[in-house]
Chain A
Amino acid sequence: MRVDQQFDEAQMLHPMTLVQRFLLSLPAFVLLLIPIFRSADSASVVPVVAVIVYGVLALPLIALRYYRFRYRITRKEIVIQSGVLNRQNRSIPIERIQNIEIEQSLLPRIFGTAKVKIETAGSSKTEGVLEFVGIETAHEIREIVRTYQQSREAAATPVNSVASQDTGLTDQPIAPAPARQQDATANTPVFSLPLSRVLMVGVMRFSLLYIAIAFSLIEQMLPNPDELEVWLRRGWLKPLTEYGTDSPWQLTAVIIFSAVLLSWLSGILVSFNRYYGFKLWLESDKMHKRHGLLTLSQGTIPLRRVQAMILRANMLMRRFKWITLEVQTMGLEATGRGHQVVAPLARLPVAMGLANHIGPVTLPEHFTPVSRLTIRRTIVRFTVALLVTVLPTAYFWQPALWGLLALPAIPFYAFQHYKNHGYALQEDTLYVRRGVFRHFIWMIPVSKFQVLYGESSIFQRRLGLETVYIDTAGAGGLALPEIIDVPTEEATALIEACYNRFQQAFATP
C-alpha cells in the first residue's frame, strides 16, 4: 500500500495545470487584443493597458492559485486547501463521498491530465474539484477512496450496520413495510388508473396556468383587423357586434367563460396524455411507475431515497374527495430530485395505503392549530402588500385601482389560512398541514430531518410568535412545510420534541 501513503501528504496538482490554465485563459486575452488588430494605428491605448493589467494580475493569479492548491487523502477524509485571497480549507469525510468522477476533455487529454470531481449528497454542485491531476493519479485517487470506503464499511458492519449509513439520504428504508415481500413476487400493480379515472385527473386539475394559456390562445384566434373589416362588411359578425355594444358585461362574461372552458378542456387533454395508463409497481425496495400516451415515461423511485410524502388537493378535488400523493426524493442525479407523483388521483385511504408502503404513516385525527393571531397578521400583511403594489401603479395607470376590490377577500383568505394550518408530531413522523386554495399535508419521517429552524420576525416577536421550519433534502417549490405563527413556548417545545425524536431514531438500541 505504498500509493496510499503517498496521498497522506499534501499533494499539488499536476504541473501541466499551469500550462492548461494559461491556455484556457487565452480566449479572454485575445478578446482584449481584438481592438488592436482592428485599428492598425497605434492610437488604441486602452487595449494595451488592458493587456498589461492582464499580464500583471491574471498570470500571477494563475500561478498563485496553482501554488496555493493542496489536497490530501487520508483514511478518513479528503482535505482540499485552495484560494489566494479567499482561502478555504475543505474537509470531505470519506464515507460522505457518493461518487468520484474523472473528466477528461480535449485539452487535458493532450496533456495526459484529468479533472477529478468529488461528489457528496446534497447540493447539486460538485463539492470538490481537482483540476488537473495526472490521469494515472486520477484513477489512483478513485481506487484509494473506494478501498478506504470499503474497509470502513467492513469495519463498521459488525458493530452496527445501520449507523454507518446514517446521512438520511442513503440510509435504510424508513421502516420495513410488512407487505413488501409478497408484493415483490406478485407482478400486479399496486396502483393503476383506469381510463375513466385518467380523464377524471384532467377534470379535477384546474390550473391557472391553463387559463392563462387559454386567454392567450383566444387572443391569437381573434381575426386581424383586415379580415375583421371584411367580416363586418359581409355582416357575418353583425349579431355579435350588436350584442357586444348592447351588453358589454355579458360579452366579457362569455369571453371569460369560454377561456375557462378552453383551459379546462386543454387541461384534460394534457393530463390524459401524461397519465394515460398510469401503473405503479412495488419491488422490494423500489417503486416503479409507467404512464403516458404520446411519450411513455417510466420512473423508479428507490424507497430509501424518499425524504417526505405529500398529500395535496385543490378545491375541486376536495369537493369530490380526491387527493394526490407525491413523494419528495433525493437522488444523486439532478433528475432524481424533487417531487414525484405517486398517485395522481386517489381516495384518501388508497393514498395512505400507498404511503404506508414507503413508511408507517397514519393521518393524525387532530392537528394542533397555530395561534389565532395569524389571522390578524395575514390580514395586515396582505393588505399592506396590496396597497403597496396597487397605489403606486394607480398613480401611472388609473385602472389599477380595481385591484382594491380584492381587499374584502383578504379576511376570508386569512381565516381559511388559519383554519387549515396545523401540525402534529406523532410516532416517528411530523405532519404539517397548510394551504388555502390548494391544501397540502406533509408527512416527514423524523429520521429524514436535516436542519431545524426557529425564526421570528420583529412583528412576530411583538406578538410572541415564531415560525418553525424543518428542512429536508430535496424540498422545494412554492409551498414549504413551514409552521407559521406558533406561540413561542410551543415552538420551542416543538423544535425540542422534533430534535429528540430525531436523536432517538438514531440511538443504538
Chain B
Amino acid sequence: MQTDSWIPLFPESASSFSWQVDALYFYLIGISVAFMIPIVAAIFWFVVRYREREKFATPDEIHGSIVLETVWSIIPFVISMTIFLGGAVVYYTQYRMPEDAMQVYVVGKQWMWKIQHETGQREINELHVPVNTKVKLTMTTEDVLHDFSIPAFRTKADVVPGRYTYLWFEATKPGTYHLFCAEYCGLNHSGMIGSVVVMEQNDFESWLQGNASNLTPVEQGRDLFENKLGCASCHAGGSGQRGAVLENIYGKEVKFVGGSSTIVDDEYLRNSILNPSSQVVEGYQPIMPTFKGQVTEEQLISLVAYIKSLSGVDASATAPSAPAAPAPAPANNMGSNSNQGGR
C-alpha cells in the first residue's frame, strides 16, 4: 500500500488521472528550481562580491531599469499562465463527472463514513470498488462538513450538509489505499479514516455476492415511496393524482410558478422533498408538506434513486433498465403534466 523506503517521499499513484496531478507537480517543482537557482546564486554572488570594503561607502547609484522590470513582470506572468492552464485541465478531469460511472452513495457523519452500493451493500469506513471502472460518489453529511479524500487517487471533495457533492475516480491498481476525512469535523476528526479497497473485477463480483440479501437503494426507495412515507398516495395515482407525475421527469426542464425553470437533477429532487413549496411547478398547488426531519440522508438517497429509476435512469453503467416506466406512455412527460394541471 505504501512505499517501503525509510523516508517515503512519494505516495502511491493509483487512479486514471493521478499521473496528470503528478506531472503538474513535477512541472511546478521544475519551475521552482529554475527560479530558485538563479536568484539564490545571484544573492550569494552579490553578498560575497559586493561585501562592505569601506565603512559607510557610497556605491554608485542605480535607479532601476524599465526594460528589466518589464521582462521580469512578463516572464513570471507567462509562466504562471501555463501553470494556470495545466491546473485547469487537470481540475476539469477531476471534477467533471462522467455519465457512465458506477454509482456509490456516501453519507458522512461524526466520525464515520457510511457507504452504500447500488446493489444494496453497506459498508462503514471502507469502500470496495472494482479496478478499471469509473466510480461516481454522491455524497452528503448528516451533521458538519467533512471531506472525502483519497491521496492515492489525487482527489478529494468536501461533503456539505444540506446538499450533494460529487467525486469520481477510476482506480488503476488493485490494493488498499488511505481514505481520510480532510475537513476538520470536531473531536475525533483524525479517527475518521478508513480505506478504499480496489479489487479485480471478479473479486469484486464475489464480494458483492457475499452480501446479496440487502435491498438496493431503488428497492428501498420504492418501499419508502409506497409504504413508509406514503408518497404514492399523491404521486402514483394515474389520472386523478394531485401531485406531479414523476415518470420520465429526470433530466427534463420544469417551469416554476413565477417564470424560472430548472433541469430536474438529484439536487432538485432532494430539495423538492425537503422544501416542496420553495419551487412549485407551474400548474400545481403548493400543497405538498415538507419531509424535512422525517427522512434521513440515507433515505433521501434511496428516494432519489427510486425516482430516477422511474425515468429509466438507473445510473449504473452496466445495467440500464427502466423498471417502473411503462413503455407505451408518451403522454407522461412534462408537457402533458402542465396540460393536466391546467385543466
| Chain A complexes with chain B | no
Residues of chain B whose beta carbon lies under 8 Å from any beta carbon of chain A: none
